[in-house]
Amino acid sequence: MYDRMQTFTTNQMTRIHDASMALLSSVGVAFNEPEALEIFASNGFKVDGKTVFMTEAQIQKALETAPSRFTVTARNPEKSVAVGEDDFVFAPGYGAPFIALPDGSQREATMADYDNFCKLIQTSKTINMNGFMMVEPGDVAPDTGHLDMIFSSIVLCDKPFMGSPVSRQGARDCIEMASIIWGGKDRLLAAGPVSVSLINSLSPLQFSDEMAGSLIELARANQACVIASLIMAGSSGPVTLSGVLALQNAEILAGITLAQLVNPGAPVVYGSTSSAMDMRTGGLAIGCPELSMVVSATAQMARFYKLPSRSGGGLTDAHFPDGQAAGESALALSTAARSGINFILHSAGILGSYIAMSFEKFLMDEEMCGIIRKLIKPIDVSDEAIDVEMIKNVGIGGQYLTQPKTFKLCRTEFYMADFFNRQNYAGWKAAGSKRIDQVATESLSHRLAAYEKPPIDPDVETALSAYVAGRKNKS
């Protein structure tokens, strides 16, 4: 397939691989979690203090057990999703402490905001996986807030959800609450992964105790983990993108290896949102072209190892859902989808380099996700679709508007935008001359008003509530 973005040759990907192997064998990766060090040592890895050294043979053995594709089971089985190979999911934004308001100001996010994002995801036609920490609510206790978020993710939405990797206890809570839904840990294990959790390395070449501990717990429970690296080129990683790719590859493979040592066959995703440091401000730039270049390369390296891939989606450095936000987000989102990324996190809502979530931008990004789903859908070139006989019958100078096929397909053949403007100028003026962000603000209240809580067994919801209350009492 022709694409002007760089397609790595096998030799180029092997060079990146070889550079990573050199780093893993000579420099190693620090794991700030005692059990992780014990697991590596008991499996014959060289461990010196907190540093683990890995050989190519050890990495390859781990990769042999990692699946190339897996299914995440939803509590509504009809909404289960597959991740890997040709299958991909759109997941919402993650980790923003603030809400961006329509007037351009920001405020601290609340649990009510989190709940509203769960409701938007439940009613979305294109976002097919619920998140975790779409916002960081400032009105819940830091040590138990993850319990409230998991509860809302499960109860307010029946799509698959992202788990809690905030701490080892947070991972255990996620597993316990999932076990309540599935009727016990044995049934949870039999169901396969029901959640996907984000495990981030600590660049360069480290894993924190929280991340390594969470990874161990989640892998044991056969829950899927995205092993991700976020390197700032020129700051926490090399200034060259090829150097970034080698460094992030080493970190990701180290995390994947730990997961496979804990539970061979545990579902993992090869992930990255590495990008450039803005050399003028010293901040992370996620709306830059370098991010999309790394996204494309990450997808290729994941396929090199026959692993599912993860990247960011609708990412921008803009602080308002304006033209900059739309342009940067569309570039990153379309690059991820067209490059073959399987788990597209931050698909909707992010502003300001992860600092804020916007309800208006969520709806705008959601529309773009729908457009991209249509964009990458293959054109049907069957004889029935081409329909030479109809074209012959219409002939020279005829029209197709009243053809039976047009009547049959007029509502399904083309993408129908929910609120992106397609009116002419007169129609747009008559409707109030509203910008797309203003239309999104108006649409938000209607969307939330139309939300209906998905069915859940009352006993299960009561048990989940009791678990949350019990854990809070112990904290």
Per-residue pLDDT tens digits for 455-464: 999 999 999 9
What's CA 28's distance to the chain center, in Å?
28
Whether 315 maps to a domain, the answer reads yes
Domains contained in the chain, number:
1
d(CA 454, CA 160): 13
What pLDDT score does 475 carry? 74
What pLDDT score does 54 carry? 98
SS3 assignment, position 338: helix
Burial, 392: exposed, middle or buried (Cβ in 10 Å; 0-12, 13-18, 19+)?
exposed
From residue 309, give the alpha-carbon distance in Å to each of 87, 127, 138, 296, 332.
11, 17, 31, 10, 15
What is the residue whose two structure tokens read 């993650």?
94
Name the band, by pLDDT with cuts 50, 70 and 90, for residue 195.
very high
Across the beta sheet with 98-100, the strand order is 106-108, 98-100, 356-357, 350-351
Q: Per-residue pLDDT averaged across 208-218, rounded? A: 98
Whether 361 maps to a domain, the answer reads yes
Q: Per-residue pLDDT averaged across 233-261, rounded? A: 97
Tokens of 468: 């949350």
Give the number of C-alpha atoms closer than 13 A to the C-alpha of residue 310, restricted to the C-beta side.
27
Whether 466 maps to a domain, the answer reads no
Give the predicted TM-score (pTM) of the model. Answer: 0.96
What pLDDT score does 474 carry? 85
Name the band, by pLDDT with cuts 50, 70 and 90, for residue 264.
very high
CB 86 within 8 A of CB 342: no
Tokens of 206: 């480290």
- Residue 131's domain spans which residues? 64-375
Whether 23 maps to a domain, the answer reads no
Q: Quick one: which H or E segment has residue 236?
A: none
Task: Kindly report the CATH number assigned to the domain that includes residue 100.
Answer: 3.20.20.480
d(CA 448, CA 450): 5
Name the band, by pLDDT with cuts 50, 70 and 90, for residue 272.
very high
Whether 393 maps to a domain, the answer reads no
Name the band, by pLDDT with cuts 50, 70 and 90, for residue 419.
confident
Parallel/antiparallel/unpaired status of strands 206-207 and 232-233 = unpaired
Give the residue from 222, 207, 307 showing the smallest Cα distance to 264. 222
**b or e along 233-266 (b: 16 or more beta carbons within 10 Å of the residue's beta carbon)?**
bbbbbbeebebbbbbbbbbbbbbbbbbbbbbeeb
Is it the case that residue 1 has pLDDT exceeding 80? no
What pLDDT score does 328 carry? 98
Tokens of 47: 């461990």
d(CA 15, CA 8): 10
SS3 assignment, position 173: helix
CB 124 within 8 A of CB 117: no
Question: Around Cβ 173, how many Cβ atoms within 10 Å?
Answer: 23
The per-residue pLDDT for range 274-288, each reduced to its tens digit, is 999 999 999 999 999
Q: Per-residue pLDDT averaged across 221-236, rounded? A: 97
Whether 154 maps to a domain, the answer reads yes
Is it the case that residue 202 has pLDDT exceeding 70? yes
H-state helical runs in 273-424: 289-304, 323-339, 359-375, 383-386, 388-394, 404-409
Parallel/antiparallel/unpaired status of strands 232-233 and 275-277 = parallel
Give the number of C-alpha atoms closer than 13 A to the C-alpha of residue 220, restricted to the C-beta side.
16
Name the band, by pLDDT with cuts 50, 70 and 90, for residue 3.
confident
Is it the case that residue 323 has pLDDT exceeding 90? yes
Is it the case that residue 209 has pLDDT exceeding 80? yes
Whether 142 maps to a domain, the answer reads yes
Give the residue from 231, 339, 329, 245 showing the smallest Cα distance to 288. 329
What pLDDT score does 132 carry? 96
Give the number of C-alpha atoms closer than 13 A to the C-alpha of residue 236, restricted to the C-beta side.
17
On average, the pLDDT of the chain sits at: 96
Whether 238 maps to a domain, the answer reads yes
